[in-house]
Amino acid sequence: MSINDDSKNWTPIKKRIKIIRECSSPGVTPSSPRLHIPPSPCLETLGFGTGVKILLHERGLKDGVNLSPWVLKKVTKRHAAGHIGQRLDDEALILKGLNHPNIIGYRGFKKNKDGTSVLALEKGDLSLSDILEERLDCHKGPLPPQPIIKVMKCVISALHYLHNDIKRLHGDIKSANVILVGGKEFQIIKLCDFGVSLKLDEKGDKVLEGQQYVGTEAWNAMEVIEEETVITPKADIFSYGCLIYEMLTLRPPHIDKLVVSESDDEDESIDDSAYIDCLGTRPELPKTLDFDDEYEFILSIFYACTEEIPEMRPSAETILKLINDHAKST
């Protein structure tokens, strides 16, 4: 999602970083009969996603009390009848059935006469990706250990709920899909964007047949990159490890493998062959980063989650227990 589009001034490498951060690799809809949404011109535009417009719905007063604002995801007319429209319909159906403190709240869904859909969600303040980009632009170092562990616990708690209770894979864990509610103080952290979520079997062991894992390539596990037939919840765990990498480096996975060069006409070009070769592997931590002892636990979880062999990665339940035990010992 882009809120302030200053892309005209971006370098090729910054444009590529944005693509890697936000763009994904290539049912029955819930009804909300009482969902009343003003026309789009009356709403503030927060940004845009692939085929969707992000709007702010300030709901005003009710009985003298300020109603909490909502964020609206509206599919554009051009994409209403395609897979983007279906993805929003699917996301609405999924979110309506979820109830967890670390998952963004569903507020309503509406199918318009022109075929477009609108999904109303709890409003967050900004994404973790926004925080990381701001730190990178200001030449700051990694996030401090405390907020990293807070994000780790909240996201893995949501994944444990999804994998064990709901029997569902999130399918696109990354900083752009982690929302902060209550400002930059990491008070409340929630997982969002369930448009590419996948159903697991009754035991929660693997993704049901007939579904395609989409995700975002830089965060995808090797079994996803190689299009293996069996995808397990451990695919989410690999992406979770890449999320930890983002908080340590402030950058998307493998972005250091992009080679920028100047051609004869003085235009910059990007060689992404090394980047593509690294997809599905553990992203390398920059040698220039020197982590003190406070990061030791965080690094141990990062390394465990980014093992290439799925069976060697810990489960969400195991990670949550490790984080809770670590909190008790510090």
pLDDT in tens, 154-189: 999 999 999 999 999 999 999 999 999 887 889 899
Angle between helices 234-249 and 296-305 (to 10 degrees): 140
Q: Is 127 left (phi over 0), alpha (psi -120 to 50) or beta?
A: beta
Q: Are 192 and 136 spatial neighbours (Cβ–Cβ below 8 Å)? A: no
Tell me the two tokens of residue 170.
């999130």
Note the pLDDT of residue 253. 97
Residue 69: predicted pLDDT: 73
pLDDT band at 323 (very low <50, low <70, confident <90, very high): very high
pLDDT of residue 93: 92
- What are 112-143's pLDDT values in tens digits? 887 788 888 988 889 999 999 999 999 999 99
Q: What is the pLDDT of residue 2?
A: 39
pLDDT digits (tens, 9 = 90+) for 226-265: 999 899 999 999 999 999 999 999 999 999 898 776 655 5
The amino acid occupying position 102 is: N
Given a cut of 90, is residue 153 above it in pLDDT? yes
Plot region of 30 (φ>0 → left; ψ -120 to 50 → alpha; else → beta): beta
The pLDDT of residue 182: 81
Q: How far apart are CA 117 and CA 92, in angstroms?
A: 10
Tens of pLDDT, residue by residue over 8-26, are 566 666 766 766 765 554 4
Note the pLDDT of residue 25: 46
- The model's pLDDT over 22-46, given as tens digits with 9 standing for 90+, comes to 555 444 445 444 566 666 666 777 7
Other beta carbons less than 10 A from residue 319's beta carbon: 24
Identify whether the C-beta of residue 103 lies closer than 8 Å to the C-beta of residue 170: no
Scanning the structure block, which residue is given the tokens 């200053």? 6
Q: Which residues are catalytic?
A: 172
DSSP string, 5-55: --GGG--HHHHHHHHHHHPPP--PPP--TT-----GGGSEEEEEETTEEEE
> In terms of pLDDT, which residue wins out, 182 or 313?
313
Q: With CA atoms as reference, report the closest residue to 117 among 80, 78, 91, 164.
A: 80
Contacts of residue 23, Cβ cutoff 8 Å, sequence gap at least 6: 50, 216
Domains in the chain: boundaries: 23-122, 126-329
Instruction: State the pLDDT at residue 70.
Output: 76
In DSSP terms, which residues pair with 180 in a beta bridge? 126, 189
Q: Cα-Cα-Cα-Cα dihedral of 235, 26, 197, 46, to 10°? A: 120
| pLDDT for position 41 | 62
Q: Tell whether the model's pLDDT for residue 201 goes beyond 90.
A: yes
pLDDT tens column, 55-100: 777 767 676 666 777 788 888 777 676 778 888 888 999 999 999 9
Mean pLDDT of the chain, nearest integer: 86
Q: How far is CA 330 from the centre of its chain?
A: 29
CATH superfamily entry for domain 126-329: Transferase(Phosphotransferase) domain 1 (1.10.510.10)
User: Cα separation of 209 and 193, whole Å?
Assistant: 22
Q: What is the CATH number of domain 23-122?
A: 3.30.200.20
Task: Tell me the three state secondary structure of residue 140.
Answer: coil
